[in-house]
């Protein structure tokens, strides 16, 4: 099993998610602005958030690197999650993240993504990391670009959302060569 290192950035602590994060997760996951932009339905209860955390922990048992809780250093508040998933050891993974809407536009997603991409290339020795966004999710696209990802194209009808709607998705990628030559 992969053991993710705890990461401290200027303003954040990234640590493995735990069931103790359920209340904070529910607080931002019930917001109708957050989940649908990340492809999931808003949470309806703390029990649902606990179930999602359980799903994250089960995925780790199946070989995924795991999910980081994004925690503000200033008040120890968990404001989101970030992960590398669909991991193929020593080859590639996908980056996914969500942040509470009240913290959007403050650089937290970029700060967390840069740190997790570092882990992907330096610790997991990946050759490639991908990220996908809806074509109209401009905030997420800016995060990808600030982290050094290159826009690679649009996967038409590439995403089936929780409610059955199908969307195009914009695909980004960064290779180890891109990363180490930045």
Annotate 139-170 with DSSP letters as a single string: HHHHHHHHHT-EEEEEEEEEEE-TTS-EEEEE
Measured over the CA atoms of residue 4, residue 73, residue 179 and residue 131, the dihedral's sign is positive
Note whether 36 and 64 are within 8 A (CB).
no
Domain residue limits, the chain: 7-180
Residue 116: per-residue pLDDT: 97
Residue 38: per-residue pLDDT: 87
Grade residue 3 by pLDDT with cuts at 50, 70 and 90.
confident
Contacts of residue 94, defined as CB under 8 A and 6 or more positions apart, other chains included, come to 84, 85, 86, 129, 130, 131, 132
Residue 34: per-residue pLDDT: 94
Assign domain 7-180 one CATH number from 3.30.565.10, 3.30.499.10, 3.40.630.30, 2.60.40.10. 3.40.630.30
Lowest-pLDDT range, 2-11, 24-33, 91-100?
Answer: 2-11
- Structure-derived torsion over alpha carbons of residues 138, 11, 9, 78, reported in degrees to the nearest 10: -80
Residue 62: per-residue pLDDT: 86
- State pLDDT tens for residues 42-94: 999 999 999 999 999 998 888 889 999 999 999 999 999 999 999 999 999 99
- State pLDDT tens for residues 137-172: 999 999 999 999 999 999 999 999 999 999 999 999
């Amino acid at each position: 099993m992969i053991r993710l290192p705890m990461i401290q950035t200027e303003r954040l602590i990234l640590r493995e998610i735990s069931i103790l994060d359920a209340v904070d997760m529910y607080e931002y996951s019930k917001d109708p602005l957050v989940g649908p932009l990340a492809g999931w339905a808003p949470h309806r209860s703390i029990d649902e958030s606990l179930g999602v955390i359980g799903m994250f922990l089960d995925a780790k048992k199946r070989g995924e690197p795991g999910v980081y809780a994004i925690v503000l250093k200033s008040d120890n508040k968990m404001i989101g999650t970030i992960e590398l998933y669909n991991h193929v050891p020593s080859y590639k993974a996908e980056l996914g993240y969500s942040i509470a809407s009240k913290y959007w536009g403050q650089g937290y997603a970029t700060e967390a993504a840069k740190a997790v991409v570092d882990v992907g290339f330096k610790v997991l020795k990946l050759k490639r990391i991908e990220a996908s966004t809806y074509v109209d999710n401009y905030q997420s696209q800016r995060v990808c670009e600030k982290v050094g990802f290159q826009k690679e194209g649009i996967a038409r009808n590439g995403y089936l959302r929780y409610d059955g709607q199908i969307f195009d998705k914009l695909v980004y990628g960064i290779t180890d060569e891109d990363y180490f030559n930045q």
